[in-house]
Amino acid sequence: MSSVNVRIAGANGDGVESSGTLLLKVAANDGMQIFGYRGYQSIIRGGHVWFQVRVGDGAERLLSHGDGIDVLVALNQESITNQKSHLNDNAVVIYDPTKVNVRELDASKCRPLPIPILDIAVKESGDPIMRNTVAIGAVIKLLGINLSVFEAVIKRMFGRKGDAIVKNNVNVASKGYLYDGVSTIYSLNGDGKERYTMDGNTAISLGAYAAGCKFYSAYPMTPASGILQWFAAHDNQGVLFKQTEDELAAINMAIGASYSGVRAMTGSSGGGFSLMAEALGFAGMIETPLVVAEVQRGGPSTGLPTKTEQADLLFVMYASQGEYPRVVVAPRDMDECFTLTAQAFNLADKYQCPVIIISDMFLSEHLETVDGFDINSVKIERGKIATSVPEGTRFKRYEYNQDGVSARSIPGTKGMEFIAPSDEHDEYGDLVSDAFAGLDSSIETRIKMHDKRMRKMDMMLKNENFFVPHIENPNAKQFLVTWGSTTLPALEAIALLKEKDIELGLISFSYLFPMDKEKVIAILKGKKLIDVECNYTAQLAQVVMMNTGIEIKDKILKYDGEAITGKEIAEKAVEIIGK
């Protein structure tokens, strides 16, 4: 078995997430690949929660949290009831027989493993919460991980609190590790390479930091709050963080910071982004660089606050009234959360427009092993910044030119003052709307200014080479088409089907707007395509149709709030292919 799915389940407040995080750190420290994902409810107290850690051999990158459960740690009775339908054949179920019964399980299809974890925790440490550590000790024995690896991780986590804390955790874990009936049953082999564990929100934050972001403003909203928390934790390291009273203040502060010359960013989920829409157009009109992270969750309205979805694409592409240039990028994996975010700041500065990074809960909140990022490798491009004008002349902040990008100045630069109005304006920033009464001069100014701004997107397509999809297995006869976070599970599906001699390719989008129409047509034309998305209306397929005229008729769509897996995609792809 090349990977094992371990799910820890219990009530909110049982330490499920901290236990899962500890397990994945231990596995990563032993040179294994991990992929962690949590399920939780949008209530403060109570409610059923779970954390799944998929552990794989060191040589094999994991592309999703896996299908089903191979090891279940059931911390309460509700965990048995809620998770029994997800158990794979011969799954091990760890439970405390003094608190949980397994009568509703089919013992012929699973392996119940009773361990009095609460009694052991109280006896060995005097603290009931340590029951989770007992259970983790048993799990790492099942996975064949040496207890010394657990000790090394605990020393790193709690060493500053003293040896007594470390020894207590190791002692308690050893009781589960050595408990009668617990033995190694899964043969996983780490490659000896210690790896970092990271979630997508952290990778986005690091990409922004590497790109020179100096200001982040936001109002808390799941699942974008991880970015806020990262910047709050690093507020004294050359970055200014501001938690605002609402999302309107957040985006306007970010625009103000960017206008003043620093690289700035804001972020939210769909509901908060809705409030930001008007200010997004304001940034487009005054041609101020702006980076916005939009981390999707289930909608509409409050919707599914703690579930994943990809249903904001069309909204993000056309948010705010009127027309103005923007860029929409969708990271497909952890590496792109870092690299595309860094690139977003360069694009915002070079083309003086909003750049929106669209992610989702699955990508932004899951944890996986990464080899790390080189913060110093990011090239920073600030675009056109004017420092002087001929003496006696007035600075033309919005000067007409062929590429649509006028030089901007940093406020405070002598002789470079300008007006940045939300109304239509001329080259200097002087308003034309107040005098607009059918006058030829005002009409001409409006057309010239609007043409100038919109030319930026043509220049992007001319100057940059990444507004086209990526292709995997180009000689295949049929292709899955994805964007953002569905890409990794789609790659897993392709690998699963290859084992059955079914050959599929992949066409995946990470840059969604603008789209290089002619190049995309050349890539898609004549191919059999299957659209894969986590929404109801196949929004990427709509975008492709609108830009290229190519209709993707076959679709695999999921919108129940749960992340799609490789197995699901593979099974549905086989149904489509067999039609």
Mean pLDDT on 244-268: 97
Both 520 and 559 in a single domain?
Answer: yes
Q: Is the distance from CB of 213 to CB of 342 less than 8 angstroms?
A: no
**What local confidence, expressed as pLDDT, does residue 189 receive?**
85
pLDDT in tens, 69-97: 999 999 999 999 999 999 999 999 999 99
Q: What is the CATH number of the domain that holds 137?
A: 3.40.920.10
Residues 69 and 188 placed together within one structural domain of the fold: yes
- Indicate the helix (H) or strand (E) that contains 329: strand 327-329
Q: Which of 437, 464, 491 is the last residue of a domain?
A: 464
Last residue of a domain, one of 328, 346, 377: 377
Looking at residue 461, its pLDDT comes to: 96
Asked if residue 125 and residue 61 are part of one domain, the reply reads yes
Long-range contacts formed by 13-19: CB under 8 A, 24+ apart? 13/45, 13/46, 14/49, 14/75, 14/76, 14/132, 15/129, 15/132, 16/49, 16/50, 16/51, 16/75, 16/132, 17/49, 17/51, 18/132, 19/51, 19/73, 19/132, 19/133, 19/135, 19/136
Same domain, 32 and 112: yes
Residue that the structure tokens 């789209």 belong to: 515
- In which band, very low, low, confident or very high, does the pLDDT at 33 lie, cut at 50, 70 and 90? very high
Q: Are residues 312 and 455 in the same domain?
A: no
Residue 480: pLDDT over 60: yes
Per-residue pLDDT, 437: 56
Last residue of a domain, one of 353, 377, 401: 377
Strand order in the sheet with 470-472: 470-472, 505-509, 478-483, 528-533, 554-557
| 171, 55: one domain | yes
**For residue 298, what is the DSSP state?**
B
- Does residue 243 sit in the same domain as residue 309? yes
Distance in angstroms (rounded) separating the CA atoms of residues 141 and 144: 5
Q: Say if CB 281 and CB 320 are below 8 A apart.
A: yes
| Boundaries of domain holding 203 | 198-377
Least confident range from 17-26, 42-51, 396-405: namely: 42-51
Residue 369: per-residue pLDDT: 92
Greatest Cα pair distance in the chain:
90
196-199 sheet: strands from edge to edge = 110-114, 87-95, 69-74, 3-11, 48-56, 33-39, 367-370, 196-199
Same domain, 187 and 306: no
Query: Which CATH number does the domain housing residue 246 bear?
Result: 3.40.50.970
Number of domains in the chain: 4
Q: How far is the C-alpha of 97 from the C-alpha of 470, rounded, in Å?
A: 52
10 closest CA partner among 125, 96, 113: 96
pTM of the model as a whole:
0.95
Q: What percent of the chain has pLDDT over 90?
A: 89
Average pLDDT, the chain: 94
Distance of alpha carbon 438 from its chain centroid, rounded? 48
Instruction: Identify whether residues 320 and 202 lie together within a single domain.
Output: yes
Q: Same domain, yes or no, for 230 and 363?
A: yes
pLDDT at 175 over 90: yes
Res. 194 pLDDT band, cuts 50 70 90: confident
The model's pLDDT over 106-123, given as tens digits with 9 standing for 90+, comes to 988 999 999 999 999 999
In this structure, are 545 and 433 located in the same domain?
no
Question: Do 190 and 321 share a structural domain?
Answer: no
Could you tell me the CATH number of the domain that includes residue 564?
A: 3.40.50.920
